[in-house]
Amino acid sequence: MNDDAQILIARLLTHQALTRKDKLVKRALSDELFRMEIDQRLAACGMKLLDNVYADHVTLALTRDVEPKVFGEREVWQNNNMGLGRDGVALLVVLWALIILPKRERQEAHQHAEQDQNDMFDKEKPLPSAEDASIGISYRALLADFGDKLGKKTRMDMNLGQLSRFGFIERRNDIILEGPLLDLLMDTDTLKERVVNGALQDIFQWAPRPAAVPEVAADSATEAVADTAETAAEDIASPSELT
């Protein structure tokens, strides 16, 4: 038995997410045989390792085929296995769109958050980490623009508290920042098409504006986000939340 594989899986089960700089995580991402052993062990339990080059952490999730067996029938478990209501799911998707998509554009352009976007040598630099490329958004601006459609201040504060506890976001005074899971447990390819080019097309005109919320009101669009998110988001399946 490979004790390193056992230890890594146990640590992920316990801590929910680990940084890519972690010694065993780095090995899992670079050692093909070690990753294969981890994948096989997780698959035997209906689980998988989630990682992507744009995120600074890795985590675990359930495989799609076992989700209904764990959480119940589709109408029961869909986007509700962590107790998030429709307004909570909509808030999660809005935060993802405002934080993650601009961050990914900066990463793909090899730009740091504070970097001059006209730097002609961007492409020669390595892909910036999420910490270096991610910019938060103002809580007050979020409340002003989306509060009426997301339950007003009391409800939004409750949902932000849940999202913070689950690891989706971090809060530093007035600023809401990317948490370790926000860029891992969301299906970016699906969400970008369905939300940015669909439900939120009028809000996100796809000009990355860091640390700010668009001034366009969110009437029908925010309601549509909740419907869209029910099928677009990667359902949360962190083993630490399954008990």
Could you list the mean pLDDT of each consecutive 10-residue stretch along the chain, which spans 243 residues? 86 95 96 96 94 93 83 57 76 88 84 58 68 86 86 91 93 92 82 64 44 36 49 43 38
So what's the pLDDT on residue 114? 60
So what's the pLDDT on residue 81? 54
Q: Which of 145, 242, 231 is nearest to 193 (CA)?
A: 231
Where is 49: in which H helix or E strand?
A: strand 47-50
The answer to whether 77 and 241 are in contact (CB under 8 A) is: no
- Provide the whole-model pTM: 0.74
What is d(CA 4, CA 27) in angstroms, rounded to the nearest whole number? Answer: 10
So what's the pLDDT on residue 68? 77
E strands present in 137-214: 137-138, 169-172, 175-178
Sequence letter at residue 66: V
So what's the pLDDT on residue 146? 85
What is d(CA 171, CA 156) in angstroms, rounded to the nearest whole number? Answer: 13
Task: Report the residue count for the chain.
Answer: 243
